Amino acid sequence: MPSLPERILILGGTAEASKLAADLMEQGETFVITALAGRTEYPASLAGDVRIGGFGGVDGLAAYLRSQGITRVIDATHPFARQISANAVEACRKAEVPLTVHLRPPWLQQPGDRWIIVETLEAAAKAFPEGARVFLALGRQYIDLFAQRTDCHFVIRMVDAPSTPLPFTHADIVVGKAAADWEAEKALLEGHAITHLVTRNSGGEASYGKIIAARILELPVVMIARPIA
């Protein structure tokens, strides 16, 4: 009797998840659906099916797995997206569906890197001096705290233009995504006369360009470490 095709749910939102969907689709005989939280207005197109929006916690995800006959879940979410990863563990246990986790290794400090490693956003917001010109490479939901530093100028990169004004007194907004291309990132940092970069240790190739650019420009990088599990 021929075996039924696999029905794989990828929890996505990362470059690695997109590649995984494309690779699995290429292999054929597999149904692939990528779930996105719906944080970005115009997500890049993905191979296979796409589902947008939360599941409604552990029980919602478990119910979805059962109703869609999902045979495997792959968690390829961002390493700082903790809630969905925890939900996936519990929902897969409840629905008795195997779970594979793709966790990007963090970036490691290289010779020439000038990292100031901090554990929290609060510590990051205190890690640069008065008068600094700070490039914030953080998601929209993580930047408000920095607005208290009215003594600094911020350049904030966002995937989508903000729908409401940001609470900053001195800030420029750059709409765009992080790039692997360090030359483009270097030009951006130089163009805004940046003195400090703030980022989380996301790992991965797709957003490493800014780290190389900061190394070459000898800029301090306020690096927010991964949360301890």
Q: Catalog residues that contact ligand NAP under the rule CB under 6 A.
A: 11-14, 35-37, 39, 54-57, 60-61, 77-78, 80-84, 87, 139
- State the residue for tokens 């054929």: 28
Host H or E run for residue 158: strand 153-158
Q: Helix or strand or coil: residue 225?
A: coil
Of the pair 48, 139, the CB lying nearest ligand NAP is at: 139
Q: Answer yes or no: are the C-beta atoms of 153 and 170 closer than 8 Å.
A: yes
Question: Considering beta carbons, is residue 195 or 224 the nearer one to ligand NAP?
Answer: 224
Structure tokens at 34: 């990528």
Nearest residue (CB) to ligand NAP, 59 versus 151: 59
Task: Report CA torsion sign: 24, 201, 138, 186.
Answer: negative
Minimum distance from residue 151 beta carbon to ligand NAP (Å) = 26
Nearer to ligand NAP, 87 or 195 (CB): 87
In the complex, minimum distance from the CB of residue 5 to ligand NAP, in angstroms, rounded to a whole number:
22
Q: Judged by CB, which is closer to ligand NAP: 57, or 176?
A: 57
Smallest gap from Cβ 63 to ligand NAP, in A, equals 11
Tell me phi and psi for residue 19, to 5 degrees: -65, -40
Going from the C-alpha of 63 to that of each of 35, 67, 94, 97, the distances in angstroms are 15, 6, 9, 11
Q: Which residue is nearest to ligand NAP (CB)?
A: 54
Residue 2 CB, nearest approach to ligand NAP (Å)? 31
What minimum distance in Å lies between the beta carbon of 140 and ligand NAP? 10
CA distance 153 to 136: 10
